[in-house]
Structure 1
Amino acid sequence: MSSPVIDSPRSPYARQRTTRSNFELYGWIFMRASGVLLLVLIFGHLFVNLMTGHGVHSIDFAFVGGKWSNPFWQIWDLLMLWLAMLHGTNGVRTVINDYASKDGTRLVLKALLYFACVVVVVLGTLVIFTFNPCPPDAPADLLPSLCFPS
């Protein structure tokens, strides 16, 4: 049994791939930019949900329904969802590239990762834009208080 050969620390770096794509550079830049933007979006989200009104005790179905009736908050939450999913997917993609040694394993893991990302982004987007706290045909005893004019 032969032991693996380790290159000398002073030997020049040999590229494993011959592609001339800047995809990894753009991924690195995206992680930095989306991280900064996510900090603003998440802390704004936490401030509005926890510091205004009665704090965590006021978060209920009516609170979310009232918030998502405003297009500003729909876009805010949509940006937060999309950036968080793309940021996390890019980070996990990097981990898969670093630690999955077999090409087949790497392909399967990344396919599952991309599938999960697409499913969460599509379903989350649908929920944000189709959410209706006051469906027109619902029984009155099941509707939240915000559906009735005071």
Structure 2
Amino acid sequence: MASVIKSPQSRDVSPQRRASRQNFETWSWLFMRVSGIILFFLALVHFFIMHILHDVTTTTVAFVAARYQNPLWKIFDWLLLSLGLLHGTNGLRYIMDDYVRSPLKRVLVKSTVYGVSGILFFVGTLTIITFK
């Protein structure tokens, strides 16, 4: 009888090991797909309203204030801001993992990117919430 040699990749995977594969990277991968689809439609609506229905030169503080009287526009703009920042930051995380080899440099670069993203998110959210 010939013995069958199994490669490490073909060995049986226990249910416990299979469950552990749904880690941060799995959810990050799924988030990129779902947020990309949602962002596509949010960006199309934004582009249509801001660049086709209205001329860019007519976009004033009064136009934004009138639009923000409806809280759904604030939610729309906040979704566009938050999903765009999270999607972009997650994409940068993929790039940093691929190209920044030194652990110290990786920590510094990621800290800088996450810090800038956090500040932009905070300022953008504060602007949308407090706009009068």
| Pairwise TM-score range, normalised by the shorter structure | 0.7 to 0.9
- Counterparts in 2 of 1:31-46, with a 5 A limit? 31-46=32-47
Letter in 2 for 1:41: L
Aligned residue for 1:77, secondary structure, equals helix
Larger Rg: 1
What is the aligned residue count? 116
Task: Give the percent of matched residue pairs that are identical in Structure 1 and Structure 2.
Answer: 40
Q: Flag the 1:12–1:100 CA change in 2: closer, same or farther, 3 A.
A: farther
Superposed CA RMSD in Å reads 1.8
Instruction: Specify every segment of 5 or more residues in structure 1 that has no aligned partner in the other structure, as ranges.
Output: 1-10, 14-18, 133-150
Equivalent residue for 1:102? 102
| Structure with greater proportional helix content | 2
Equivalent residue for 1:82? 82
Q: Flag the 1:102–1:21 CA change in 2: closer, same or farther, 3 A.
A: farther
Equivalent residue for 2:17? none
Report the Cα distance in structure 1 between the residues aligned to 2:130 and 2:40, rounded to whole angstroms: 26
Offset at 1:99?
A: 0.4
Report the Cα distance in structure 2 between the residues aligned to 1:103 and 1:41, rounded to whole angstroms: 37
Report the Cα distance in structure 2 between the residues aligned to 1:89 and 1:131, rounded to whole angstroms: 25
Report the Cα distance in structure 2 between the residues aligned to 1:86 and 1:21, rounded to whole angstroms: 20
TM-score when normalising by structure 2? 0.81
Equivalent residue for 2:13? none
Q: Flag the 1:88–1:101 CA change in 2: closer, same or farther, 3 A.
A: same
Offset at 1:51?
A: 2.0
Letter in 1 for 2:40: L
Offset at 1:130?
A: 0.3
Offset at 1:46?
A: 1.1
- Counterparts in 2 of 1:1-150, with a 5 A limit? 22-53=23-54, 55-132=55-132
Letter in 2 for 1:35: G
Aligned residue for 2:69, secondary structure, equals coil
Offset at 1:57?
A: 3.0
TM-score when normalising by structure 1? 0.71
Offset at 1:56?
A: 2.2
Report the Cα distance in structure 2 between the residues aligned to 1:20 and 1:29, rounded to whole angstroms: 13
Q: Deviating runs (4+, > 6 A) in structure 1?
A: none
Report the Cα distance in structure 2 between the residues aligned to 1:94 and 1:22, rounded to whole angstroms: 15
